[in-house]
Amino acid sequence: MQAVKGDVGRLAGGAGVLAATCAALCCAGAPIVVSVLAATGLSFLRKDAILIPVIAIALVVALWGFWRSRRVHGSLIPLLLGFAGALLLVAGVVYLHGSIAKLFIGAGTLLLLTASVWNARLPHACDVELPLTQREA
């Protein structure tokens, strides 16, 4: 299976989801993320004034990537999953607190990762050889 040439949407979608997930896990106080930041001397990055803009930019990049890839494979499903995941992630990070916030962050992350994998797999499903009669027309 060959990758679709010039499809920056898959790269942007995946990179945006990865960045938003890491920032959201940092906001949620995931022990592994907090300990890695402390061990590397980057604990100052756990401030909301830094993390919320990073999440916003990463989600914009991810959603733009899903929208752009939609033009390649024609499916709205990754874009809709990504949008729903972004809403849950933002609600969990900005508006909610406590265990419900962690639930929303987890669900949003899961939806975003699902959208990213779905988006990456769809162009391969569209790589179908045309029959000889249609190629000549």
Q: Tens digit of pLDDT for each residue in 67-77?
A: 988 887 888 99
> Which two three-digit tokens encode residue 78?
């990754």
Note the Cα 125 to chain centre separation in Å. Answer: 20
| Separation CA 72–CA 5 (nearest Å) | 10
Of 93-102, 115-124, 126-135, the range with the highest mean pLDDT is 93-102
Higher-scoring residue by pLDDT: 11, 128: 11
Residues 20, 68, 48: CA angle, nearest 5 degrees: 20
Confidence of residue 126 (pLDDT cuts 50, 70, 90): low
CB 86 within 8 A of CB 112: yes
